[in-house]
Amino acid sequence: MAERADVVIAGSGFGGAIAAYRLAEAYVAAGADPHAIVVLERGRRFGHTDFRQSMDVANLSKVYDLVQGQGMQVVTANAVGGGSNLYLAASLRAPTETFERRDRRPDDGPERRMWPAALSRRTLNRYYARAERGLRVRRPTWKQVSKSGGLWAATLNEAGHTCDRVPVAIDAERCVNAKWCHTGCIFGAKNSLITNYLAAAEALGVQVRTLHEVQSVRQSSARPYRYIATVDQLDAETKQSSGSVELECKALVLATGAMGDAPILMRSQLGLPALSSHVGKHLGSNGDHVAAIEFDPQRVHDILGLGRYHAFHKGMPITTMSYDWWAGRRAHDYDGTRFTLQEIFLSTLTNLLYDDGRSPGGDPSWWGVQKKDAIAHWASRIELLAMVEDTNDGTFVAPSPTGGGAVQPNGGPIAFGTFDYTMSEQSLRVREAADAAMARIAATKGLGRFMKLTETRGVYCAHPLGGCRMADSAQLGVVDDSGQVFGYEGLHCFGSSIIPTSLGVNPSLTIAAVAERCADALVARGPSLGLPAPPAGFRPGTPEEIVGPRVIP
Partner 1 sequence: MDFEAELTRRQVIGAGVAVLVAQALPLARAAPAQAAGASYTDALLQAYADTMIPGRKVAATESGAPVDPRAILGSDPRPGAVECDALAIYHDPRIGFDALAPAFLADLALNARGDFLSQDLAGRTATCIRGLDFGNPLRLLWEAAAAVPFVAIAATRTGTTMMGYPGAAPHGYRDFSYRRKLARERTRHGSLS
Chain residues 145-164 in contact with partner 1, contact rule CB under 8 A: 145-147, 150-151, 153-154, 156-157, 161-164
d(CA 521, CA 525): 6
**Interacting residue with partner 1 among 9, 23, 79, 178 (CB under 8 A):** 178
**Interacting residue with partner 1 among 327, 397, 443, 474 (CB under 8 A):** 327
Could you tell me which of 512, 525, 414, 429 has the C-alpha nearest to residue 15? 512
Q: How far is the CB of 72 from partner 1 (least distance, A)?
A: 9
Cβ within 8 Å of residue 318, ≥6 positions away: 88, 89, 90, 149, 166, 168, 342, 343, 344, 345, 506
Q: Does 235 bind partner 1 (CB under 8 A)?
A: no
Nearer to partner 1, 56 or 111 (CB): 56
Could you tell me which of 350, 405, 346, 502 has the C-alpha nearest to residue 67? 405
**Interacting residue with partner 1 among 302, 373, 489, 544 (CB under 8 A):** 373
Nearer to partner 1, 198 or 515 (CB): 515
- Please choose, out of 207-215, 390-398, 458-466, 529-537, the segment that lies near partner 1 by the rule CB under 8 A: 458-466
**Interacting residue with partner 1 among 112, 139, 218, 301 (CB under 8 A):** 139
Q: Does 363 bind partner 1 (CB under 8 A)?
A: yes
d(CA 20, CA 388): 32
Using an 8 Å Cβ cutoff, are 240 and 260 in contact?
Answer: no
Using an 8 Å Cβ cutoff, are 500 and 481 in contact?
Answer: no
Q: How far is the CB of 261 from partner 1 (least distance, A)?
A: 23
Strands 64-70 and 212-219 come out as unpaired
d(CA 509, CA 505): 9
d(CA 534, CA 466): 32
Q: Which of residues 6-65 bind partner 1 (CB under 8 A)?
A: 53-58, 60-61, 64
Q: Does 257 bind partner 1 (CB under 8 A)?
A: no
Q: How many angstroms separate the Cα of 474 from the Cα of each of 320, 361, 483? A: 39, 51, 12
Nearer to partner 1, 6 or 355 (CB): 355
**Interacting residue with partner 1 among 22, 42, 179, 492 (CB under 8 A):** 179
Cβ within 8 Å of residue 64, ≥6 positions away: 75, 76, 77, 78, 86, 413
Q: Does 364 bind partner 1 (CB under 8 A)?
A: yes
d(CA 59, CA 183): 8
Q: What angle do CA 262, 511, 104 make, to 5 degrees?
A: 65
Q: Does 367 bind partner 1 (CB under 8 A)?
A: yes
Q: Which of residues 108-127 bind partner 1 (CB under 8 A)?
A: 121
Cβ within 8 Å of residue 182, ≥6 positions away: 86, 88, 317, 345, 346, 347
Q: Does 535 bind partner 1 (CB under 8 A)?
A: no
Q: How far is the CB of 239 from partner 1 (least distance, A)?
A: 13
Q: Which of residues 186-215 bind partner 1 (CB under 8 A)?
A: 186-187
Q: Which of residues 300-319 bind partner 1 (CB under 8 A)?
A: 306, 310-315
**Interacting residue with partner 1 among 332, 351, 472, 525 (CB under 8 A):** 351
**Interacting residue with partner 1 among 115, 225, 325, 326 (CB under 8 A):** 326
